[in-house]
Amino acid sequence: MKRDALIDSLRTPNSLGSRPKYISAAKQKFEAIFGASPRFVVSAPGRVNLIGEHTDYNAGYVFPVAIDKYIHIAMRERADRRAVLHALDVNESFELNLDALRPVPPNAPTWSYYLIGVASLLQESGNKIAGIDAVIMGDVPIGAGLSSSAALSVSAALAFLAGSIPQSSPDAAVSEARKKELAALCQGVEHEFVGVNCGIMDQTISLLGRADHGLFLDCRSLAYEHVPLNLGAHCIAICNTKVKRELAASEYNKRRTECERGVDLLSRWLPGISSLRDITLSDFKKHEGKLPALTQKRCGYVVAENTRVLDAVSTLKARNQQTSEKVDDPLIAFGRLMNASHKGLRDDYEVSCRELDLLTDIAHSVDGVIGTRMTGAGFGGCTVSIVHRDALETFRTRVTSEYHKQTGIEPEIYLCNVSNGAQVFNY
């Protein structure tokens, strides 16, 4: 599948959906800076993971949703090999030479690493890309664990590709393989240019998200299924601790190393395994006592979390098939799995922090909250809760007042809709 087919399949002329405010603002900012209209505005969402944390780089299962917070890039192609970039949210500008991307220029700001990496890997994988003028802005909170980095790399990849297609090209359906390829390329940017050995979940959900559906993703095969959420009277509430995740990157890589060590040790008694997702909970229980204590905790969490994801998806599918008088019971079971996930992240994987635990404790005190957990890499960032709409005002008030009372920090609370994935809007 050629890159023009990818862009055409994502292009949505004159249909801005739930994104008009920032798309219009990006277009206006582009016109003010460059004195002309953009050719495209590319829009890629952040995500929140409902369950399945730190399982993606262990080739396991995850269940994220795309949220209605986005990174937008307004752009047009250039005749030369320059990329002139303006990142409005951080009030910084940078210019790239597409023929001199490695090594990364020493004066490059951190946000530009994603665009440098995307442009470099696109070209190295055989894509011919043109220079672009671009304005970058959005409302995915930076550093909150809602995957602003994946949204930036996905939007950058589509922007560079969009700048290289003919003025008009035929509509064509994009293949599953092409989207997986692009997600893998954006994951490679994190590995090679940012130094975070992340899994592929964030990039995949940013590309493949579907409104009102969770994405059940096998991070080994990249097989996926859109599972209807049908939350009914319940809403997704995300609470930002506003604590910087200073330990997240270094500890993330440590956890990955610890899991790999566990696989190596367990392969002595379970030959043929290549990752923790190959191990059932019962098999792990048989051999966990042979592992060093820390390795046992880390691996035990991942094995249990993979099981929870499978159970959570089965629960939602059962809920979708039930009659209305029983509709709430499976969702409550889903909430219990979220609660168990947080307990494992806190006690066994040890990637939570005081502020995340405090937010989950406050949420549990509100009648109508059926599940809550930290989401993302940890050590700060956000929690995600499923809240009955009748309890939302109590939830907002109590979380804000109690969290501020105990930390001195005013939290941010986002009530999010479940969104479609990346799109390209034509002008």
Q: How far apart are CA 257 and CA 249, in angstroms?
A: 13
- Report the candidate in 66, 67, 55 with the shortest Cα–Cα distance to residue 309: 55
Residues serving a catalytic function are: 202
Return all residues near 407 (Cβ < 8 A) that are at least 6 apart: 355, 358
DSSP H/E element including 214: strand 213-218
Angle CA(363)–CA(368)–CA(372) in degrees, nearest 5?
A: 40
Label the pairing between strands 213-218 and 234-240.
unpaired
DSSP code at position 11: B
Bridge partners of 215? 226
Neighbours of 320 (CB within 10 A): 13
Locate 338 and state its tokens: 């979220």
Label the pairing between strands 132-138 and 82-87.
parallel
By the 10 Å C-beta count (0-12 exposed, 13-18 middle, 19+ buried), 397 is classed as: exposed
DSSP code at position 99: T
Return all residues near 50 (Cβ < 8 A) that are at least 6 apart: 63, 64, 65, 214, 236, 312, 338, 375, 384
